[in-house]
Structure 1
Amino acid sequence: MTEQEIIYTMALTRVPRVNTAAQHRLMEELGSASAVFDHRHHIRDFYPEASDKLSAALQEMEVQVARAEEELEFTRKHHIKCLCYHDTDYPSRLRECDDAPLLLYYKGNADLNRTHVINMVGTRHCTEYGKDICRRFVAELANLCPDVLVVSGLAYGIDIHSHRAALDNAVDTVGVLAHGLDQIYPRLHRDTAVQMTSQGGLLTEFMSRTNADKVNFVRRNRIVAGMADATIVVESAEKGGALITADIAMSYHRDVFAFPGRVGDPYSQGCNRLIRDSKAALLQNAQEFMEAMGWQPRSSENQKDKGIQGELFPDLCEEEQRIVDCLRQSECLQINTLAVATNLPVHKLSAFLFNLEMKGIVKLLSGGMYRLT
């Protein structure tokens, strides 16, 4: 993709009164954004079905080119990737959706087209129950499917707890923003967002200097839904953005799952209704999710690998073997819990864990959690 084509694509996405469907139609009929710009004054010669409204709107494209040139310079300065619709790095699942953006801005290192991608959404007013589901589900999924990419919206509540759970379990996570990459909203999540750029990324269809307006959050939801294999609703009130995302996912013929909640709890009503109306499959744990999706869990391979680990590392002492045996029973354990399970003092346990890390058998996660590699 040439820089000029990127600039014209940026400009086309900003032409007033030209929606995403019209943008795609123009690209299909003329073959490129550059061709749209070159023939903007006589568009009907190439696209006879163009309306008076569309023809008039394209006259403003030249004004948007100047803004696009500024944005391209901003992306260069801040190491932001411009992913155009037909680029190989563009999310292929999203490309299947009729209203996919022509261009996305991406800052991160995660492959957006890996084999397994999910999104986790829910209320901004999540309870301890919802937070616990995020931690537990992502930890389980990280063990069963370590290459999974977790997508959410970086918002308060379930979104940010899903991102943080992914980071804590060494899983890549991408936040889809409702504004440009020159800001982070809410500001309170800035540190998490910065961490995500080196273990996942930040993605948006909006140029810099775009405010986080309410309508942008609704538009953002279609990207969250479209770039994933499945939508997982953790907690939701009777109405809310999570239910909008679930509806969009269903319209894309993607799988939708929901964790049930206690009858009468305000932030479980949306999930329970999705399940009741057969719009979402009831979900209780990561193993069920893997089975429902037909994904091959790593567990069987893990057990095989772990079964021969003693042969691969025959020099394990009795205490090290005890640690490995405990970690085989759980996806990950905090060091204090591991100390109780192995009956080893923490200071001795730390030394053994360090040796196991050096041997490549154990990995240290955030929060003092350990798991087998």
Structure 2
Amino acid sequence: MKGKKIKAIILIIIITASLLFLFYNLSFQNDTRELRAVVKKVDDSEISGSGVQKFGRQIVRVEIKEGKYKGKIINASNHLIGNLGWDYRFNEGDEILVAISETENNEIRAAVALDVYRQGWILILIALFIILLILYARYIGLKALFSFIGSIFVIWKILIPGLLKGLDPLIFTSFVLLILSALILFSIAGFTKKGFASFFGTSSSLLITIALTIFFGNKLALDGMSSPYVGEMMAAGYFNLNIREIFYAAVVIGASGAAMDIAMDMATTIKELKEQRPDMEMKDLIKSGFNVGSDVIGTMTTTLLLAYAGGYLTLIMAFMTRTATLRRIFNLRIIVSEILRTLVGSIGLIIVAPITTIFAAWLYSKKFKLEKNKD
């Protein structure tokens, strides 16, 4: 038993190290134009502005810490535009990321200070996530890790490029979400009754969520322009994008993750009930599933509210400082957009539980099998 634990720990270490090494090399090592550096001296003489908003250029003298310029000390420019979300003023000793431009003779032409170097701590956080996931969930944790990495790949390499190319946001996003749902649910549950029940519930909830988003989004006259960083996309030249439908797609994406969670919970509940009580009929399975589902939904809807409230906490605080009336708040586009996001997501959760419960109860009441081994 002790030997098995040691082997399991070694396996976790190997898997974690391999994933981090692959992530680091694929993402960062091939780009020699952006290098890690340490700030040796700062010059704020060209910065102006009042209060917290500053404009101008901060000159930072940095020592390059990697690549072919390792050890070289150069000046880098840090441009401040008065946007607190983008600007960062560096101090001596900061470890930062510097963008290098070269001459034809492979010498440094200019350097721009981008931001604080955070990559090392991100890798530590990723390692902690992987270790805890595998330690607790073991084989299921490995499958969850596979679906997690696969989801990142699909979003980064398929969904985002497709949206930027101008593909229909709702149709394309729905297609991608169906692929993601299949990837996540079947990798965890396998091609079993539980897997098919959770996928059916998630897909049904997705379709209903899309319909609700379109209907109420149009009735509330939401155009998506209050979404973060829309201005930056426009400034980059993406005028052909349908911002309204991209906002609708974002609402649907936000709701789909929680719907998958509920669908898997309900399918697992029906599976466990049937295994413990093989004599239970379909109506009894549905009744027990509904009892469990009501408790799950009761907490999950609040969880969804807290998740969205946490993401827009500073926005809520800003309106509180202005002593805005409730009538004004409930008619502001940016606030109504988040109300739509929260309520549509919650409705999707409420719908997915009974749909999955009924379908799973029907599947487990039948004699056919969807896999070689008993589910």
TM-score interval for Structure 1 and Structure 2 normalised by the shorter chain: under 0.3
- State the structure with bigger RCO (CA 8 A, min sep 6), 1 or 2: 2
**Radius of gyration: which is bigger?**
2
- The structure whose residues are more often helix, as a share, is 2
